[in-house]
Amino acid sequence: MLNKIRKEHILALLGIAAFFLIANYLKKSENTTLDDMSVVLSAKVQKDDVFQLFYWETSASKFKIANSVRTKIKGSEDFQEIVFELPRIKDLFRLRLDIGENFEQNAVIIKEIKFIKEADELVFGINGFNRLFTGNKYIATTDNHSFNGKTGALKSKTIYDPYFISVDSSREMESIRLNRLTKHPYLIAAFICLVLFLFVMYNVNSVSISKEGIFVAVFVIVLIMPTLQNQIQFAKPLENLEKRELVKMPEFTWTKEFARGFESYYNDNFGLRNIFVNWGGTYRTKFFRSSMHPEQVMLGKQKWLYYNNFNSHIYDSYRRVNLLTQDTLKRIVDQWEDNKARFEAEGRKYFIAFWPNKHSIYPEYLPSTMKIQIKDTVSRVDQINTYMKRHNTSVKLVDVRQNLMEAKKASQVYHKFDTHWNDYGAFLAYRTFFQEIQGDLGIAPKKEKDFHIVWEDYRGGDLISMLGVRNDGFFSEKRPKFVLKKNKDQIQYLPIDGYPKLTVRTRNEHCGNKLKALVFRDSYTNSLIQFFSLHFYEVTYIWGHKEYYVKKVQPDVIIDGFVERELGEKHTINKL
């Protein structure tokens, strides 16, 4: 009798589980390929602009420019239809709607959005739009249907990037992704389970339960779980954090190559894989202080993370195996002096600076495996500085290391979990740089007392994602935010039409001069923009070092900036 009761309980539980599995399968296991879908946004956009719609396929690791559609918009006081014609999309994961690049844009009023796929047309009014999308931190909501990117952008002080990203769990996003096999998945699942339940109950007496049988059943369930995850997603899928493109499904052929290709594809794409990878990386990081990707990032003392890409200049730079010959030193410095002479002949000021590697400012937290790889006590920067002093060159290389080393005794100047300095480190570098060139320009840097400085909780950092784990609070630090006490919004961000995508252009009517500056930048410059732009009427920040932009911008001041690991690699402005 007890054995029978146990059987009935087990069968009831299996029946309930089967019901949800079948229902979810019918609900989610649909055709996920979208052929030539059109997206129509009805909105009021008052000034000329460009909207961009990104689509993220499940096999990708992030949004990509290649997987997006741009649409130019003519400003109007009336509502207009903004159309995005998307190509064939396989397994849509997420959408992102960028609502403009015009810094001077007024509030954008959205009425509805339509998704037209084959014979279906999904129409979402503003309430549906708000359930489907959530705005990023550069979006300011003025009411329930009006959005303003300009106000939100001022928070960052460096970029203007208002966009909406889809809410994965929303019914609206689910209906866009899939073409349903049935409109009544739960009713059909209930019918199937009822038939199966009656059949099994009729034969229950012929079924016996044993430890061996339970073991086999559990083993089979474990084996089919990855397939079930791919079909019905009973666990919330995680984004792939690996810094590589996952293998894609090969075209079917009766060859060994297809078999090998399919095995590689399955190894990269089986269900629950990203969850297992995240678990493994998390426990390895937390308990063993070990990196899953030591060729990218290493864990140092007190949880400090360090960039360690074997195939980049940083690896040779911190190891100090990239030292230069005397001939190369002479060629580099001669080219800088030639630049200075040519630009000064045109009436322009020319300055060179470098921004130190994190490894140079915080060597004490380096892991032992990185310390033992350092081959010399002299760095490439030391070589260049020594050469320039010995030959009393006309051009000087601004070195901010000493002030950063002194300041770190009292305050943190670099991020623990990022490759870059924080805003306080950037402020110190900015102040040192302008003190060094004050005699040439007559411009004094702002003082610390001119700003409100607030240290906020921060859990970000590009090195965390390189570890291949998600930060659940294990990596946490404080980062500073600088806000001017007077005229805090004096920096205006200009359009970058006709310039490369990573360009930043600013104007400052409160700077007290009409000087135009051209800054050749890299990622370290991001935190410097909020300070440098306080002292010039217009500044153009160009990624890279191309003399073409000197002729285009016609600046009064040229600042050639390098992160330490790139100094001497791109040692002159490219004349192409």
C-alpha 269/C-alpha 274 separation (Å) is: 9
Which residue, 67, 66, 38, is CA-closest to 55? 67
What gap in Å lies between CA 324 and CA 569, rounded to an integer?
10
Fill in the amino acid letter for 302.
Q
For 356-486, list the strands marked E by DSSP. 397-399, 451-458, 477-484
What CA–CA distance (Å, rounded) separates 238 from 17?
A: 23
Residue 487 or 432, more confident:
432
Give 338-351 pLDDT, tens digit per residue.
Answer: 999 999 999 999 99
Across 159-177, average pLDDT: 83
Q: What is the pLDDT of residue 177?
A: 78
Q: Give the CA angle between residues 12, 15, 18 to the nearest 5°.
A: 155
pLDDT value at position 102?
A: 85
> How far from chain centre, in Å, is Cα 78?
35
Lowest-confidence pick of 5-19, 390-404, 461-475:
5-19
Q: Is residue 175's pLDDT more than 60? A: yes
CB proximity list for 57: less than 8 A, separation 6 or greater: 67, 89, 90, 91, 92, 93
- pLDDT tens, residue by residue, 178-232: 755 455 667 777 778 778 777 776 666 665 667 777 787 788 777 877 777 766 6
Residues ≥6 apart with Cβ < 8 Å to 508? 490, 491, 492, 533, 534, 535, 536, 537, 538, 539
pLDDT for 180: 54
In the prediction, which pLDDT does 292 show?
78
Three-class DSSP category at 437:
helix
**pLDDT value at residue 157:** 44
- With contact defined as beta carbons under 8 Å apart, do 60 and 91 qualify? no
Any idea where the domains of the chain sit in the sequence? 2-26+191-229, 33-177, 302-566
Residue carrying structure tokens 């990708």: 60
Among the listed ranges 257-271, 374-388, 413-427, which one has the minimum average pLDDT value?
257-271
Q: Cα(102)–Cα(524) distance, rounded to whole angstroms?
A: 25
pLDDT on residue 219? 83
Phi, psi of 563 (to 5 degrees): -70, 145
- Predicted confidence at residue 183, as pLDDT, reads 56
Is it the case that residue 245 has pLDDT exceeding 80?
no
Arithmetic mean of pLDDT over the chain: 85
| 150 has a pLDDT exceeding 50 | no
Cα three-residue angle 318-322-326, rounded to 5 degrees: 135
Q: What per-residue confidence (pLDDT) applies to 127?
A: 87
Q: What is the pLDDT of residues 299-327, one digit of tens each?
A: 999 999 999 988 888 999 999 999 999 99
pLDDT in tens, 494-538: 998 889 888 999 999 999 999 999 999 999 999 999 999 999 999
pLDDT given at position 8: 64
pLDDT at 129 over 80: yes
Could you give the strand order of the β-sheet that contains 491-494, starting from the edge strand earlier in sequence? Answer: 397-399, 349-355, 557-563, 516-521, 538-543, 504-508, 491-494
Angle between helices 326-345 and 380-390 (to 10 degrees): 60
pLDDT, tens digit, 9 for 90 and up, residues 416-473: 999 999 999 999 999 999 999 999 999 999 999 999 999 999 988 888 878 877 777 7
User: b/e per residue, 453-464, with b = 16+ CB within 10 A?
Assistant: eeeeebeebebb
Inform me whether the pLDDT recorded for 381 exceeds 90: yes
Per-residue pLDDT at 48: 92
- Mean pLDDT along residues 25-32: 59
Provide the pLDDT confidence category of residue 120 given band limits of 50, 70 and 90: confident
Maximum alpha-carbon separation in the chain = 103
Spatial distance between the Cα atoms of 385 and 399, rounded to a whole number of angstroms: 9
Q: 33-177 sits in which CATH class?
A: mainly beta
Q: Residue 154 above 50 pLDDT?
A: no
Give 50-75 pLDDT, tens digit per residue. 999 999 987 777 888 889 999 999 99
